[in-house]
Amino acid sequence: MSVSVARVEPSVAEVGDYIALMKPRVMSLVVFTALVGLAVAPGHLHPVTGFTALLCIAVGAGAAGALNMWYDADIDAVMTRTARRPVPMGRVLPGEALAFGLTLAGFSIVTLGLLVNWLAAGLLAFTLFFYVVIYTIWLKRSTPQNIVIGGAAGAFPPMIGWAAVTGSLSWRPRDHRLDFPHRLFVPSDGRPLYSDAASRLRIRRLVLAFRRRRMAVSVRLHICLGIGRAARWLIVMEASGKGGVITPPFCFCPF
């Protein structure tokens, strides 16, 4: 009686193939937007902790990319743009891509929870769930609007960065230096101070000082982080006298 043993073919994947699985271009955008969340969030985060948060977010983004390529291998093979990805080309086996993605996902979520905070880790886990299950598995094969709805996953990295610093999802900045000082215009008895010329002059000076402060914040964000069109538009709005605040997920909210 002979026993046949299945031959296990060695993997032909190289390091570059696993890097390609993580979609490095998408990962760089995720890291950048998470960095913006870390930068504008009120409070202080130790640089090592901040680097750890960004690393975990980057690894989580790589996990999402790997799991996306694992599940979409069949449709990737028939599209010119994606046909040369590692799984359709056979350089990475589907099982290897799945194991790689799950390992990265587990590592990123647990590490972020243990070393930063569990709210940020929970948001990262939900982001992975949304991208892999909601977008990749469900929406992508059921509606042409998949990219419109699934694009919501891209709004989560800034929120993860914000939560890493603050430990919460508060929707207004805690740094009251960026809040318009309305309280300065109303005395303790509630009477308005707009009635006389001296008060109006004081108001103008306070508003001008406030706009300068807000302008300085916008310029620093533009120079240090290179936010691009959004930051330039914000600077133009500030310079033209139309104040506003940045709130998660970082939309411009005029007064």
Amino acid at 81: R
Is the Cβ–Cβ distance between 133 and 69 less than 8 Å?
no
Q: pTM of the entire structure?
A: 0.66
Q: Which two tokens stand for residue 130?
A: 């949304």
Range with the largest mean pLDDT of 86-90, 187-191, 199-203, 250-254:
86-90
Q: Please tell me the predicted confidence (pLDDT) of residue 238.
A: 46
User: b/e for 57-96, b at 16 or more Cβ within 10 A?
Assistant: bbbbbbbbbbbbbbbbbeebeeeeeeeebbbbeebbbeeb
Amino acid at 103: T
Calpha distance 15→12 (Å, rounded): 10
Q: Give the model's confidence band at 247: pLDDT under 50 very low, under 70 low, under 90 confident, else very high.
A: very low
Calpha distance 238→235 (Å, rounded): 5
Calpha distance 15→34 (Å, rounded): 26
Q: Please tell me the predicted confidence (pLDDT) of residue 56.
A: 97
Q: Please tell me the predicted confidence (pLDDT) of residue 67.
A: 96
Tell me what the pLDDT averaged over the chain comes to: 76
Q: Which two tokens stand for residue 136?
A: 């990749």
The CA-atom distances, in angstroms, between 28 and each of 33, 194, 254 are 9, 50, 30
For the residues of 6-65, what is the DSSP string, one character each?
PPPPPP---HHHHHHHT-HHHHHHHHHHHHHHHHHSSS---HHHHHHHHHHHHHHHHHHH
Average pLDDT over residues 125-144: 92
Is the Cβ–Cβ distance between 53 and 113 less than 8 Å?
no
Is 70 exceeded by the pLDDT of residue 178?
no
For domain 15-166, the CATH architecture is Orthogonal Bundle (1.10)
Q: Please tell me the predicted confidence (pLDDT) of residue 217.
A: 61
Q: Please tell me the predicted confidence (pLDDT) of residue 151.
A: 81
The domain ranges of the chain are 15-166, 176-254
